[in-house]
């Protein structure tokens, strides 16, 4: 009776073990492939971190030099107590981001400020200038009607004053006559933190009607016009520098986290890989031993 059943059982067992074996071999290979790819990702994120660390060091040094430009310009408006004229509802928002991603919530933060403003009533008088492709990509879908100009090729190299003056010229000549406005940018606070801030923009009329303009000496409209053009360029320059610095620092943090996560994944995968390999070896041993035992 046993003899009659034996051949059938045997083939069945063989088939099952064959099937299992092939499946396990495949997983082993799959795990090792996965492991390799995660290791490569970790290498990439690590080197990106190193690159952005170097860029960040330079950006911070540059930022220190650029700070007086922006602060001086903002101080002027504060000292003169310039307020936006209420009869001119036209507003201009400038989103300072850059072309490059993989840097945490840098660009989303800036775009969100503008998106929230555009969702409020009175948004039809607001126009937006996107500096950097990332803010354009975010704002384009819902608010493309508000965009008057887009600047790109930002973030590959450190921003220069020439970049800022080009932007300022484009803003002055874009044909949009704004009464007031804001530059939205990421203000760098420390290596691990930055915050969305804004700098005000005013029309020349608002500056001329400022209540405390008399604290400044010998101003005529020609001087004011020249100064406003220059202060626009220097504020943009400062915002670009602040943005670049926060972007690099936040990319550094993001890449550090990514490498850490990849490290964790590698640990887990190595563990699974070893366990699976051990299981395959054990099973093969069992098969050999039981085969040998059956022959006796």
Partner 1 sequence: MSAWRQAGLNYINYSSVAAQILRRSLKPEFRADALKRDASHVRITPWADGKPAAKAQQAK
Q: Which residues bind partner 1 (CB under 8 A)?
A: 140, 144-145, 147-154, 156-157, 160-163, 165-170, 172, 174, 222, 225-227, 229-230, 232-233
CB neighbours of residue 180 within 10 Å: 19
Q: Which is nearer to partner 1, 232 or 245 (CB)?
A: 232
Q: Which is nearer to partner 1, 162 or 195 (CB)?
A: 162
Q: How far is the CB of 84 from partner 1 (least distance, A)?
A: 22
Q: How far is the CB of 56 from partner 1 (least distance, A)?
A: 19
Q: Which is nearer to partner 1, 162 or 257 (CB)?
A: 162
What's the CA gap between 66 and 93, in Å, rounded? Answer: 22
Q: Residues 73, 76, 79, 82: what is their CA dihedral angle, to the nearest 10 degrees?
A: -100
Q: Which is nearer to partner 1, 12 or 140 (CB)?
A: 140
CB neighbours of residue 215 within 10 Å: 10
Q: How far is the CB of 195 from partner 1 (least distance, A)?
A: 25
Q: Which is nearer to partner 1, 29 or 145 (CB)?
A: 145
Q: Which is nearer to partner 1, 30 or 162 (CB)?
A: 162
Q: Is 89 in contact with 125 (CB distance < 8 Å)?
A: yes
Q: How far is the CB of 179 from partner 1 (least distance, A)?
A: 19
Place of tokens 């307020």: 83
Q: How far is the CB of 97 from partner 1 (least distance, A)?
A: 13
Q: Is 59 in contact with 186 (CB distance < 8 Å)?
A: no
Run of H or E residues at 70: helix 2-79
HEC sequence for 77-124: HHHCCCCCCCCCCCEEEEEECCCCCCCCCHHHHHHHHHHHHHHCCCHH
Q: Which is nearer to partner 1, 44 or 224 (CB)?
A: 224
Q: Which is nearer to partner 1, 108 or 161 (CB)?
A: 161
Q: How far is the CB of 200 from partner 1 (least distance, A)?
A: 19
Largest CA distance in the chain: 119
Q: How far is the CB of 19 from partner 1 (least distance, A)?
A: 58
Place of tokens 């530059």: 183
Q: Is 195 in contact with 187 (CB distance < 8 Å)?
A: yes
HSE-CB at 66 with a 13 A cutoff on CA atoms is 26
Residue 238 DSSP one-character state: H
Q: How far is the CB of 134 from partner 1 (least distance, A)?
A: 15
C-alpha angle with apex 220: 217 to 225, nearest 5 degrees?
Answer: 110
């Amino acid at each position: 009776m046993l003899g009659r059943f034996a051949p059938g059982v045997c083939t069945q067992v063989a088939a099952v073990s064959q099937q299992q074996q092939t499946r396990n071999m495949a997983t082993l290979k799959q795990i090792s492939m996965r492991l390799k790819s995660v290791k490569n990702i970790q290498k990439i994120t690590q080197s990106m971190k190193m690159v952005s660390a170097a860029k960040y060091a330079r950006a911070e040094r540059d930022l220190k030099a650029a700070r007086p430009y922006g602060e001086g310009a903002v101080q002027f408006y504060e000292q003169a107590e310039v307020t936006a004229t209420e009869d001119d509802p036209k507003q201009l928002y400038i989103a300072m981001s850059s072309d490059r991603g993989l840097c945490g919530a840098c660009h989303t933060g800036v775009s969100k400020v503008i998106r929230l403003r555009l969702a409020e009533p009175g948004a039809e008088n607001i126009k937006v200038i996107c500096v950097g492709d990332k803010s354009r990509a975010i704002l384009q879908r819902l608010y493309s009607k508000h965009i008057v100009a887009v600047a790109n090729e930002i973030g590959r190299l450190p921003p220069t004053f020439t970049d800022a003056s080009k932007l300022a010229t484009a803003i002055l000549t874009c044909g949009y006559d704004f009464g007031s406005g804001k530059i939205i940018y990421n203000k760098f606070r420390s290596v691990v933190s930055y915050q969305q801030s804004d700098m005000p923009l005013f029309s020349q009329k608002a500056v001329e009607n400022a209540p405390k303009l008399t604290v400044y000496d010998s101003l005529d409209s020609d001087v004011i016009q020249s100064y406003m053009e220059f202060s626009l360029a220097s504020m943009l320059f400062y915002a670009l520098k602040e943005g670049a610095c926060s972007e690099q620092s936040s990319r550094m943090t993001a890449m550090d986290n990514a490498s850490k996560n990849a490290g964790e994944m590698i640990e887990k995968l190595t563990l699974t890989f070893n366990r699976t390999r051990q299981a395959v070896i054990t099973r093969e041993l069992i098969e050999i031993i039981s085969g040998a035992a059956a022959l006796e």
